[in-house]
Structure 1
């Protein structure tokens, strides 16, 4: 209904906007809405990526979503999609994941997103572990100005694709070699969302006469975990211990709420600690000296923290490694927080694709696009300068995607916003 009331401007050439950091597509989407290329409400997005990008900035005030400049400053690559749903621009997100991505299982579900009555932050009602481990859950009855979001997770699984999972760091991923596209081995409901020939037809019916964004992160074709091998074994063990959390025993609202509050407090506390360490110790790298537990606990943010003795020892180990070990001296302390936040039960995927694998994914992508309606706009993220997409192949992936779009849809109106 809202779409029909909103007269859209049609573009003969397909608008394609290319950025480096994925969250930089948000201003383009806002401009496309303002210029009536896209409607204000009820947009779908087809999001091809090795990562869901479905988190939220944990301290994002709901009101900030409606202040574009402040919002853009608050967003990063892992959390740019959901604020657009709270603003009611997007109402259907389709994450198309490659075979090595295991953060969320292939499925379809709906959840509520809104403004938390207690904190004023943006929160959501989904109990997927992906959201829970970032402290984002809130019961729907405690959300105001809320709306429903449909999340469809599908797998781009080329024919005859084999995956040993040897290059994926997901602890929940199966280890034995298996043929992934054998629908007889899966639950029927999941098989639908893991078979491109089947889910593309379902999406076609849902997208008919509906404006949608085709969003492609080039790390969909090959991805690296930029934190892999950032630290040595002992340093990573220490960091993992700092960010450890007890497993949920059940998913009742009461249990999940308690877990969420504890996890949110833990993440905020650790972010404050590493921010303070950067301020106090980051400037001493040119004249480093060994620090002790007493040195660290003299800082209020650490002395008054909930860290136990063992965790403080782990923090000392990390500080001395960054200060004294030349191999780690260029690592900012706050980067340890970014790394620590990825150390949950499903870590960042790492899969450097072979040329045949890239070709297979590209061919499967082409077949899906041939089924789907023409997108309204296209956004492309290179993700190469932050280490997620291999820098030596990103231009090849980009050119191949542009050629495919041109072959399918004719002339393109390309805008580039990267150096």
Structure 2
């Protein structure tokens, strides 16, 4: 696995090789689905500036901005509601979503909304639902990322998925997609990854998402879902919806978006790009490294997969349920131990777990880890909650760690551009995540990667792309109704 840091100059030179004239598919253009405004004529030759690092707000600024935002939102919502009621009949032809008089809206150009933490793209997506730039249901998410982001949030009630504020405040980078599937906003997800990401097997996976006891669950018997204890039988799922998940290696030259996108997707296709798709690190590898914490956690959190049984052809629903139950019982027992260590700072008063759940051998490994941590670090620096979270990521496939070299980035950029050129329809909107503040995309590479990705988007989409990306991470003002 490569770990070289990026050589900016050589990678920049590599990107220049991807000029439109050298790509046989660059000349392919779609007919715009809506009138496109005139550009300023200076698109070509304009140098992209590397995005600045966001200045952290002070507490006073945050409170002041919050009050201003609340006042502005009240005024804007009232004004927009009046405007929408007056213009619903004049929006033009389109698919009626709610009632006979409401038609979808169209962006003049494709907007690009860039955040740092990936779950923040929901702020823009939800707004597009509200303004009818996206249908409320059955959209398609094409998701370039080194991580599926399909973890199911167990701390959020399924009934809360229809509460926008709860979703925006409670979801995080690993679990922001699944609630939108349960709510029906998306019914198709295409996860495009590089081959060094192994969290989910490639192929098409059709399953149901629903709720059991007001908790989201799925009937998909993959390790990814079983490892978090979220597998349910189809019969146990209430309010179930069908989901199509496709997983493809984007570093394959044979990848063709026409296999999963058609003209029918023109009104509900969101292109989502996490910059850690191009280069990613596993930040948990660095946690308490002097005590070899991560490697020890992999042994402590290991569980027996159902994959061997599935490959033998003898797996049954009973096997899936039993594995999911064992895994959840294991996680609950480990959480009890780690939470006790966080509160008490030692093992005194801790009742030993059931030996059939946490074996004596595994318990001894936890004691050994605690001893080594206390030997290497001051007690007040040891965060057992963080250690538990780190261990929870060490399931059988774990998180990818691949810091790309300049040569590799050249290849990934070429693959990405080829994919864009092969699209049968353009996206309605493009969302993008840095994932740098949480250390998934290397901070010394992220600005360069963003610059290159924006340049490739402009080369392929031309004037159909909005002339300025919305930098949410820099607090850019934005209004969907003016895009």
Tell me if both proteins adopt one fold, taking TM over 0.5 as the criterion: yes
Question: Is 1:157 the counterpart of 2:215 in the alignment?
Answer: no
SS state at 1:216 partner: strand
Take 1:328 and 1:387, find their aligned partners in 2: how far apart are those partners? 25
Q: Deviations over 1:297-320 (max 9, x none)?
A: x146x6789544443333333334
Instruction: Give the Å deviation of 1:253.
Output: 0.8
Question: Is 1:28 the counterpart of 2:124 in the alignment?
Answer: yes
1:102 is aligned to 198
SS state at 1:316 partner: helix
Instruction: Give the Å deviation of 1:396.
Output: 0.8
* Contact preservation (8 Å) 1:112, 1:148: yes
Take 1:414 and 1:331, find their aligned partners in 2: how far apart are those partners? 41
Instruction: Give the Å deviation of 1:229.
Output: 4.4
1:74 is aligned to 170
TM-score normalised by the chain length of structure 2: 0.70
Instruction: Give the Å deviation of 1:61.
Output: 1.9
Take 2:270 and 2:243, find their aligned partners in 1: how far apart are those partners? 16
Residues 391 and 258 of structure 1: CA distance in aligned 2, closer, same or farther (over 3 Å): same
* Contact preservation (8 Å) 2:114, 2:473: yes
1:260 is aligned to 324
Residues 365 and 207 of structure 1: CA distance in aligned 2, closer, same or farther (over 3 Å): farther
2:214 is aligned to 120
Instruction: Give the Å deviation of 1:386.
Output: 1.5
Q: Which of 145, 166, 175 is matched with 2:239 structurally?
A: 145
TM-score normalised by the chain length of structure 1: 0.80
SS state at 1:33 partner: helix
SS state at 1:64 partner: helix
Aligned residue pair count? 364
Q: Which of 19, 37, 50 is matched with 2:146 structurally?
A: 50
1:173 is aligned to none
Residues 376 and 132 of structure 1: CA distance in aligned 2, closer, same or farther (over 3 Å): same
1:190 is aligned to none
1:132 is aligned to 226
Instruction: Give the Å deviation of 1:227.
Output: 1.8
Larger Rg: 2
* Contact preservation (8 Å) 1:58, 1:264: no
Q: Deviations over 1:216-269 (max 9, x none)?
A: 000010111112243357644542343122333453111111111221222233
1:406 is aligned to 458
* Segments of 4+ moved more than 6 angstroms: 302-305
* Contact preservation (8 Å) 2:206, 2:242: yes
SS state at 2:285 partner: coil
* Contact preservation (8 Å) 1:46, 1:215: yes
* Contact preservation (8 Å) 2:283, 2:440: yes
2:377 is aligned to 326
Residues 328 and 280 of structure 1: CA distance in aligned 2, closer, same or farther (over 3 Å): closer
Q: Which runs of 5+ in 2 are unaligned?
A: 1-93, 98-102, 475-483
Instruction: Give the Å deviation of 1:328.
Output: 8.9
Instruction: Give the Å deviation of 1:158.
Output: 5.0
SS state at 2:107 partner: coil
* Contact preservation (8 Å) 1:8, 1:36: yes
Question: Is 1:212 the counterpart of 2:269 in the alignment?
Answer: yes
Q: Which of 386, 389, 394 is matched with 1:338 structurally?
A: 389
**Does 205-214 or 27-36 show the bigger shift?**
205-214
Take 2:263 and 2:224, find their aligned partners in 1: how far apart are those partners? 26
1:363 is aligned to 414
Greater fraction of residues in strand: 1
Residues 378 and 271 of structure 1: CA distance in aligned 2, closer, same or farther (over 3 Å): farther
Take 1:303 and 1:252, find their aligned partners in 2: how far apart are those partners? 29
Q: What RMSD, in angstroms, separates the aligned Cα atoms of the two structures? A: 2.4
Residues 158 and 329 of structure 1: CA distance in aligned 2, closer, same or farther (over 3 Å): farther
SS state at 2:111 partner: strand
Instruction: Give the Å deviation of 1:349.
Output: 1.0
What aligned pairs does 1:343-358 form with structure 2 within 5 A after superposition? 343-358=394-409
* Contact preservation (8 Å) 1:58, 1:135: no
Take 2:221 and 2:445, find their aligned partners in 1: how far apart are those partners? 37
Residues 279 and 378 of structure 1: CA distance in aligned 2, closer, same or farther (over 3 Å): farther
* Contact preservation (8 Å) 1:55, 1:131: yes
* Contact preservation (8 Å) 1:125, 1:138: yes
Q: Which runs of 5+ in 1 are unaligned?
A: 160-194, 282-290
* Contact preservation (8 Å) 1:57, 1:74: no
Q: Which of 159, 178, 182 is matched with 1:86 structurally?
A: 182
Residues 370 and 236 of structure 1: CA distance in aligned 2, closer, same or farther (over 3 Å): closer
Take 2:382 and 2:409, find their aligned partners in 1: how far apart are those partners? 32
* Contact preservation (8 Å) 1:217, 1:383: yes
**Does 9-18 or 205-214 show the bigger shift?**
205-214
Question: Is 1:392 the counterpart of 2:444 in the alignment?
Answer: yes
Residues 377 and 307 of structure 1: CA distance in aligned 2, closer, same or farther (over 3 Å): same
